[in-house]
Each structure stands twice: as C-alpha cells, then as structure tokens.
Structure 1
Amino acid sequence: MNRRHFLTATVASGAVAAVAAPPSGIIDCQSHLFFPEVIEMMRKRKAEPLVYDEKGMAILKMGDWLRKVPPFYLDVDAKLATMDKNGIEITMLSTNDPGPEWFGADGPAVAQLIHDSLAGVIAKHPTRFRGLCVLPLQNEKAASEELDRCVKKLGFKGVLLYTNLAGAWCDEAQFHWLYARAEELGMPILLHPAKPMTTEVVKGYELTSTLGNMFENTIAMARIIASGLLDKHPKLKLVCPHLGGTLPYISGRMDHQLTVLKRGPQNLQRKPSEYLKSIYMDIVSPLPEAMRFALDFSGADKLLFSSDHPWVEPSAILDPLRSLKLPAADEQKILSGNAREFFGLA
C-alpha cells in the first residue's frame, strides 16, 4: 500500500491498524509551534524576553516588539488539522524566536526545554513531525553539546539558525564552528529571521515583518556569501528562507560590486550569484511571479515548499505555486522530493 495513503502497523493480535495520512505527501520545511512549557517559563521571568497576558491573550515582549501568541499557536491538534487539510504529510517542526541566545546564562537550559518539548510532540506523532533545533550560541561549549544531543539522542534533522543572534550576525567568527560541525554531520542549516536588526527603521506602519524580516534574510545571506564560509564548507547544506529575501533580485548588483568594482572581499572563488544558486531557498512568498523568478534563477532542484505556519496558511503558498502549472516532476520536487533528499527522509 502506498505510504502516501496509509501508514500501517501490525499489532500483537496480528490485526493491522491503519492510520490515515494525507494523500499528496507534501513536506513542509518551515513551520513553527510555541510550546506551553516554554511560554509558562517566560511568564515567570522578570527580565525580557517574557510573556504577559492581556485580555486573555499571551503577549510576547522583547523591548518594544510585542507579538500576540493566540492559543492555536500552541495547539498540536490545530497544526495537524491544517496539515491534513492541505495534504502535508510531514512537517519539519521548530519553535520560533526568541531563541536561546536571548536568555543569557539561562540559554542552555532554555534550549533543553525547547528541545525536550519538541521531542515530546514528535514522540506522539512520529510519522508527521521531524525536529529542527535552536542552539544557545552565546555559549559554544553548551551549544555544541546540545547539538550532539539533538542529533544523537533526539534524532533531529536540522538546525534553525537565526539571521542575527541577539544582535550578532550569524556569519561572525564566534559562530564559524557551527558551520564546520554541520558540514561534518551532514546536518542542514535553515536560516530564519529573528527580531530584525532594522527594527527601529521599519516599525513605522507595522512594517517589521513585511520589510524587516526580508532585509534580515537578504543581509544575512549576503554576509555568509561574502565571508567565504561557502568556500570553506563546500558540502554545507544551507537554506535561505522566503525566496532569499531580496537577494536573488539584486545578485547582479552584488556580482558587479564585488567582481567588477572590486568592492568587498576579493578572495571568493565564484561570483556571489553562483553561491546563491548553489544553496536551497524555501518558497514562502505568496506571489507566483516571485516563485517564477526563483525557478528561473535557481531551478526546481533548489526550491523547498514551506508554509511558515501558523503565521501563514499553507494554501497561501500552495495556491500561487500551483497557479504556475509547472511540469508535474518539477512541482513534485518542490513539494516533497527535494526535501526528502535534503533531510535524508525515508
């Protein structure tokens, strides 16, 4: 029986119990869940980041950046229902910021709490979720030990790396060990925007998510390319989210600045655009024209379906993708085939 339709398990009596699974086998590579244990921990904190309640709604506070956390952001059943509705077979599940790096000396304990909570969800739904870890990168020793625990004990499949880590860009020297270790382990790194470094200039008109997060992706990926990390670690498995922010559209300018005008590092082995084409991008950008540009730029082999649920309904990404009427083989690569190979899923 095709596993896209049913997952079966033989019970002690010899009977076979069938568990329905979505028919289309989509893999969602960016989807998030807040965990009750973590929210409760943040409610008890007096220092930020913290959570307080207002009119029955949990509010996450990081300075003047306030975000609502409605109950369904913590609801595993609600996420499963959304997955089923949209034909998503497997979700690569992670928390969202604030990551452990915002908690100072408490970061290692916070990372362990997040990962134990995530592992508990996966244990209850092992066919539907795989885990992505977030590391307390302010403490290299603790982060390295937690990475090993997540890989060897918890069976997580990747690292969610924030574009900035409490104000430090993710390409800075103190984080280089992570890229080396991830390459050694074959462990994918998925970039994800955090509280933007540009918050002050985009908070007017509530443009933080609209612009700030996309600038974060753009700047962080451009810095990784310019740093030479992709030359040092050619086998690194890396994902830039949201169709690369704005970087694919300005990569020609970056090529010109670095290779013609000789502005910036001159020790790179390739043009910046060639590095960008060598990594993966997820397609969280609900505009078919942007998806088409990414396809023309990178090719179907380098794109991954992601939803960014619960902030985005999966249909907001699936519908524009399907409107392109791609060849079936290309659509299948984007929806699941690339992810199965990238994450080493059975």
Structure 2
Amino acid sequence: MKLIGIEEHFLTQEVKNAWSAISLEAADPSVAFHGGPLEKRLVDLSQERIALMDETGLDVQVLSLTTPALHDLGRESVDLARRANDAVAEAIARHPNRFQGLATLPVTMPDEAALELERCVRTLGFKGTMLCGRVGNRNLDHLDLLPIFQSAAALHAPVLLHPRAPDKVVRDAYYSGFSPMVDAAFACFGLGWHYDAGIQFLRLALAGHFDRFPDLQVILGHWGELVLFYAERIANMDRVSGLQQPMMTYFRRNLYVTASGMFMPHYLEQAARIVGYDRLLFSTDYPYQYRPGGDARRFLNECGLDQAAACAFAHGNWERLTAGLSTAS
C-alpha cells in the first residue's frame, strides 16, 4: 500500500541565512530549533532523506519549507521563494516517485505570492502550498492576503496551515516564567504552535473565506491543531457568526486533517468523527517526529482502519484532493 506523507519539511541554507540576517531568532524562538542533526536532515533532499523514508516505510514525501518560512521577510522573499521552489522541483525531477512539493510563497508580497503559487502549480507541478500563520502582525484572514487564497481557490490548490510561534505579547502573557528553553518549547512545539495554527483556521472561517471560496481546501496538521476536540463548543458560534453555513459545515466541507507523526488511533477516530474518513491524510512531520523502527508503516497497519479506509488515509484521499489541480497554463 503506497504511503504518502504530506507534511514533510526541508530548509535551504539561503533561507536560514536570511533568517539570521534579520535576527529572526529574537522574535521567533522556533528558529533556534533548526540546528544540529535536524538541520542536516532538513537541508538534504537526496539519498539520506530517502533512506530514512525507506526505514520508516514512507514511499512519498510532499516537501514544504519549514516554519516560519518567509513570513517575516520583505521584498527579498520573492526571489528566495522562487529559488526554494526551483530547488524542490529539481529534487522531484531527480526522484519523481519519491517527492512532491508544496509551494513556498513570498507571503509579505501577496500579489507576487499569488503569481508564484500559480507558477508552482501550473509549471512545476506542485500540489498546493503551506502557510505558517501570521504574516508580520497580520493574521491570515487579513484582506491584504486575500490574493493568496483567491489564487489557491482558482487553482484548486490545497493550503496546509502550519504552526508558528505566537506573537511575543502572547508568549509573554501565557508561555513565560520558566527557563528560556522551557519558555521557548512551551510556546512552540509544547503547545503554543498548535493553538496558533488552529486559531488561524477559525479566523479564516469566521472572516467568511469559505463563503467567498466554497471550494477552498485547508489542511491542519496534528489531528486538527486542537480545534477538532472543541468542535461542539465552536459550533455554538453559529449564534453570532453571521456566516452562510454552520461552523460544522466548514469542518466537513473545507478541512482536511493530517497526523503529523502523532500516531495515536484515538486521535484518528476523533478527527474522523468530525471531518470524515475521506478527509484524513497521512504525514510524519519529518524530521521533527522521525522515529526509527518502521514507525510510519506500523501505525498504518495498527491504526484500526479497514482496508478501504486505510488505503484512503495512506494515499487515496491526498490523490483525490490534488487530482483537481488547475494545471493548464
């Protein structure tokens, strides 16, 4: 059974240098998490990565630039995005049966980002894009960023919403008071990342993006970035939202959910209860959640799904989602 991981990350030295040039680590503590052995795995787009894919049982990685991507860079991000996407396209050309791509976008330049997404889908054959939460001080629902979602909707290109560190004011209020290392972990992979990503999805819904673009498809990792576990409470916002549809409709019509290496069958069941088995996607969150011992393949075999549902989870749902991409120039 083919196994496709749709949230698998990379980093280029050029992007890391751009982060350093603006001292981004002072504003986003997650930047410091990309060093050492993780950096070695992130920058490799060849044999070592493929060997680790084979070891865990993954056939295909859908590559995306790791958080915080280009969300804090200015005009220079236009060329940075193009070069990062071209590097991914070259890796796919070398290993067409092992890699696919999600577009890296210069999101601080929304019109240019929309054009780059179109280039990546129509020319490079990418499968969608990944966004990493806020762009500067703007949430993703800000009207300035609407061209990106217009482009994604027109292309039928899914948008993966990836976590990023909360704003410093939020970190200081809720995730501080311990050691610097504990504060950073608490604000990022401990919990803060996931609240931030889930909130970005809810903001898109409450801002009416799924009314404007009924076919827009968004992906949340980590079994729905917490919000699926409060779907019943979130549904109470129907009383005041003024939206065209109930909140549960957006969960079931506009949202896909992926595992991100959190291999827990009861989380899978909760996600399926809200969005349906036809909206579950597989991912390992490489290299952050990588564990040796055939971990990915073992979870697929032991997650409790029947043959048809397991095939859909492993590859079928992703292939169906991306089959409708608008690739005509």
State the TM bucket, normalised to the shorter chain. Answer: 0.7 to 0.9
Task: Give the Cα–Cα distance (whole angstroms) in 2 for the partners of residues 92 and 244 of structure 1.
Answer: 18
Q: What's the C-alpha RMSD, in Å, of the aligned pairs? A: 2.3
Task: Give the Cα–Cα distance (whole angstroms) in 2 for the partners of residues 136 and 68 of structure 1.
Answer: 20
Task: Give the Cα–Cα distance (whole angstroms) in 1 for the partners of residues 110 and 263 of structure 2.
Answer: 37
1:72 and 2:41 are equivalent in the alignment: yes
1:341 and 2:320 are equivalent in the alignment: yes
Say which structure, 1 or 2, has more relative contact order (CA 8 Å, 6+ apart).
2
Aligned to 1:324: 303
Q: 1:225 aligns with which of 193, 205, 216?
A: 205
- Decide whether the 8 Å contact of 2:7 with 2:284 is kept in 1: yes
Paired letter, 2:27: G
What's the CA shift for 1:317?
Answer: 5.5
- Decide whether the 8 Å contact of 1:244 with 1:281 is kept in 2: yes
Q: SS state of the match for residue 103, structure 1?
A: coil
Q: Over alpha carbons, which structure has the higher Rg?
A: 1
What's the CA shift for 1:105?
Answer: 2.5
Write 1 or 2 for the structure with the bigger share of strand: 1
TM-score by length of 1: 0.81
Task: Give the Cα–Cα distance (whole angstroms) in 1 for the partners of residues 297 and 118 of structure 2.
Answer: 35
Q: 2:163 aligns with which of 166, 183, 193?
A: 193
- Decide whether the 8 Å contact of 1:133 with 1:150 is kept in 2: yes
Q: 2:110 aligns with which of 133, 140, 143?
A: 140
- Decide whether the 8 Å contact of 1:100 with 1:108 is kept in 2: no
Distance 1:155 1:182, change over 3 A: same
1:109 and 2:85 are equivalent in the alignment: no
Residue correspondence of structure 1 range 1-346 to structure 2 within 5 A: 24-39=1-16, 41-42=17-18, 46-49=21-24, 61-63=25-27, 65=29, 66-69=32-35, 70=37, 71-76=40-45, 77-197=47-167, 198-200=170-172, 201-202=174-175, 204=178, 205=182, 206-207=185-186, 208-256=188-236, 258-260=237-239, 262=240, 265-266=241-242, 268-278=243-253, 279-284=255-260, 285-313=262-290, 319-344=298-323
Stretch of structure 1 that moved more, 151-160 or 202-211:
202-211
Distance 1:326 1:46, change over 3 A: closer
Unaligned runs of 5+ in 2: none
Task: Give the Cα–Cα distance (whole angstroms) in 1 for the partners of residues 61 and 171 of structure 2.
Answer: 29
Unaligned runs of 5+ in 1: 1-23, 50-60
- Decide whether the 8 Å contact of 1:134 with 1:160 is kept in 2: yes
TM-score by length of 2: 0.85
Aligned to 1:10: none
What's the CA shift for 1:212?
Answer: 0.8
Task: Give the Cα–Cα distance (whole angstroms) in 2 for the partners of residues 104 and 272 of structure 1.
Answer: 35
- Decide whether the 8 Å contact of 1:135 with 1:143 is kept in 2: yes
Write 1 or 2 for the structure with the bigger share of helix: 2
What's the CA shift for 1:274?
Answer: 2.2
Q: SS state of the match for residue 88, structure 1?
A: coil
Stretch of structure 1 that moved more, 270-279 or 191-200:
191-200
Q: SS state of the match for residue 28, structure 1?
A: strand
Paired letter, 1:72: R
What's the CA shift for 1:316?
Answer: 5.1
- Decide whether the 8 Å contact of 1:288 with 1:321 is kept in 2: no
Stretch of structure 1 that moved more, 271-280 or 308-317:
308-317
Fraction of identical pairs, as percent = 26
Distance 1:345 1:313, change over 3 A: farther
Q: SS state of the match for residue 81, structure 1?
A: helix
Task: Give the Cα–Cα distance (whole angstroms) in 2 for the partners of residues 64 and 132 of structure 1.
Answer: 23
